[in-house]
Chain A
Amino acid sequence: MSENSLAMTALIFLGAAIIMVPLVRKLGLSSVIGFILGGIIIGPFGLKLTGKDSDDIMHATEFGVIMLLFLVGLEFEPKKFWKIRKKIIGMGLSQMLITIIVLFGIFYFAKWQTDQALVTAICFALSSTAIVLQTLKEKNIFLTDAGEASFSILLFQDMSVIPILALLPVLAKRPEDNEHEILLQYLPDWLQPFSIIIGVLILIILGRYVFVPFLRYVSRSGMNELLTASSLFLVIGVSELMASVGLSPALGAFLAGVMLATSEFRHELESQIEPFKGLLLAVFFVSVGATINFFVILKDPMFIFTTTVIVLIVKFAVLFGVGKFFKLKLNQNLIVAFALSQIGEFSFVLVNYSTKLYLLNPELNAQLMAITAITMCVTPVLLIINEKLIEPHFITDTHDSETIQPIKERKIIIVGFGHFGSTVGRLLRVNGIQATVLDNDAERVNLLKSNHFKVYFGDATKPGILRSAGAETADLLILCLDDPEKNKFILEYARKNYPQLKIFVRAKNRLDAYDFYNNGVDNIYRETLGTAVDMAVDILKATGMRSYAARRLGKRFMVIDKAMVKKLAKEQLKDKITFTVKESLEREAELLAEDSQSFDESQWTDNEEI
């Protein structure tokens, strides 16, 4: 491996992830463990497959964390954000301050230098957004109280990175050799402390007046690739912008997500960014594993071990105390305390930055890095211990009613909102039933939005979009696209991946209906049936038949026709067709002629439904 190209390294990282994750999933562990283990194996102390580029890789994959936060922001409407503001400030601030004070005290008494003790305490107070959010989502507890508390604390920590970065040079008491130009410095001195507020304001203005019109403009071109490109452009652009203003890129991405949460592109963006996020996060975790420096650990194992244990215990205790103070239920509180007890990825950044400022010596830097990585590896294990050994003791009657039950709303997804779909949607709306509507005609979406319909832009034939529209938790999927092939495609995909969905589908004619029946869907609506029957009934009236007789005949025709199509659909699957369309039409005529006036019971046997 002399020519260790970036592509090669990426290949090795991905390979490690692909091999390890299925293994640990089989053991019922979180995928994060698999990634980290994979990283250890390919790292300098395993197969030595990672070259000098692992730092670059780590840097690149920080975008994974950024994208994760962008996605979290997307699911987070400003209203909700405002609702938990007290939790963010209260829980976040108290957790940070108490952890820093306690850790600093311990390090100080352990005869560390004051400034080193303080810097380390600050770095260690942070938790890992990437690991916690990934784990919470995997365990499907993101929407519980524990999820909300964790999220509030993590958000505050991400915000606090900014003042910390500003504080470190002050601690170092030496001028910092600034690496990148920070736009902030062009601001007058008195404005600089308000950098966060300025950054947020910029984002709000951008979100409202730039992002959405920009996405509308792109979506009108009708090219999906362009949307992928612009989604990435947005996320990376925002994080770069934030970095240049001197704010945390992750926080910027989160706010950008919040700004776009109410726009019609929410689901489209989600499905576009999701695969990149997954990939980059995976590589990020692998690189955490690969950066554990075992030489450093072996040199002074006692120091590493004791520090790690102490940090974990302190963080756990503080989190638990804060949770108790904020009246979290015991089992929820335990999840939060275990989940956030590790040291976060920002610690890597802060430790390196402090070393540049000569606050930490290289040896301590390596040790702190190792401790950080170890705590990250321990988290999934701690959560398993909590789940398997501690939680079972708390199973009471209240357990299933108000603990790990994400709030579930009865959800309907309508795909296609043209003349057909919008009729369905309007009738539902009159009854106060809100559906999530997807449509891929930008003009129409725009028009509907101005009429206060909750419509999202997105091409539902792309797998990701259904998931981001909430197919996992939805109850009903209503397919009203004009193109039966597209309906069929979505139907097959949905049946396979979201078996709980009850599917209603629009069909053009009998042939589509056969297909849909054979795909196991029973709610099929043929455009060419109902309206045509209505017409025929009116024609019968026009020929002089009494209205009531005509209506009954029309009804019977519908019922018989549906039954026949169902039967013929089954015939299509057989090798030898025993019941042909011609026969079915003859049978239909017979049945209609009887008009329920026959009392020959032998005739009723195969007409159960009439």
Chain B
Amino acid sequence: MKKTLIIFAHPHFEYSHANAELVKAYDNLDNVDFKDLYEEYPDFHIASFRERKRIREYERLVFHFPLIWFTCPPLLKLWIDEVFDIKWMAEQNHPLQNKDAFIIVTLGGKEENYSPDGLYTTTVPELMKFLILSLKVNGIQVKEILAIHNADELTEVDLAKYTTEIRKTLRTP
């Protein structure tokens, strides 16, 4: 399994039954480190030196977050703003080159709403453009987007299926 860092951001994790179940997918996996941004930086003061130093060590980044008003939670956005830096890329000779990434996003809405003819007329991959592009400029390829719809209505069985799927995805080389 590739050395993986899970970057998890959820401002109201304590109210999300679905995510509480889903993050169990990361338990007891070799080479997988879990990082809960809202737990680590409750005051939104990100230690960017440390973060840059840390992400260099990984071959794969997983961004796991709920979709809130069609984008990622603010702390994850801040993390991206503070950590990724064009000057850093130039001075350190592209330290993030050749890594890959997954996006796991939970949504309250139904799947049919996120289609060109649906309520929001926009697909999830389109909404994720900001993240995909930011990563691409830094040399990181997004390999897969897993969108989990109706997150609040999912049964234990559904969630278990997703958990298995996440674990399987993490094992892909």
**Which A positions have Cβ atoms within 8 angstroms of B?**
552, 555-556, 559, 596, 599-601, 603-604, 607-610
Contact = CB atoms under 8 A, between A and B. Distances in A.
Interface residues on B, range: 10 to 19
28 contacts: A555-B43, A555-B45, A556-B45, A559-B45, A559-B47, A596-B48, A596-B49, A596-B82, A599-B85, A599-B87, A599-B91, A599-B92, A600-B91, A601-B52, A601-B53, A601-B92, A603-B49, A604-B49, A604-B50, A604-B52, A604-B53, A607-B49, A607-B50, A609-B47, A609-B50, A610-B47, A610-B49, A610-B50
The 6 closest A-B pairs by CB, nearest first: A555-B45, A604-B49, A599-B88, A599-B91, A596-B48, A610-B47
Contacts of B48: 596
Nearest to B45: A555
Given A552-B45, A555-B45, A599-B85, A608 B50 contact: yes
Contacts of B82: 596
A97 B9 CA distance: 67
Given A599-B85, A604-B50, A607-B50, 6 more contacts: A555-B45, A599-B92, A601-B53, A601-B92, A609-B47, A610-B50
A607 B45 CA distance: 15
A608 B49 CA distance: 8
Nearest to A558: B45
Interface in B74-110: 82, 85, 87-88, 91-92
A610 B88 CA distance: 17
A600 B43 CA distance: 26
A556 B48 CA distance: 11
A555 B82 CA distance: 15
Interface of B: 43, 45, 47-50, 52-53, 82, 85, 87-88, 91-92
A599 B51 CA distance: 12
Nearest to B83: A596
Nearest to B43: A555
A303 to B, nearest CB: 68
A555 B43 CA distance: 9
A199 B52 CA distance: 75
A30 to B, nearest CB: 43
Contacts of A555: 43, 45
B92 to A, nearest CB: 6
Nearest to A604: B49
Nearest to A552: B45
A609 B48 CA distance: 10
A604 B53 CA distance: 8
Nearest to B44: A555
A596 B49 CA distance: 7
Nearest to A556: B45
A559 B46 CA distance: 11
A601 B45 CA distance: 20
B56 to A, nearest CB: 9
Contacts of B45: 552, 555-556, 559
Contacts of B53: 601, 604
Nearest to B91: A599
A603 B50 CA distance: 11
A432 B85 CA distance: 44
Nearest to A598: B49
Nearest to B51: A596
Contacts of A556: 45
A599 B82 CA distance: 12
Contacts of A596: 48-49, 82
A599 B92 CA distance: 8
A357 B85 CA distance: 99
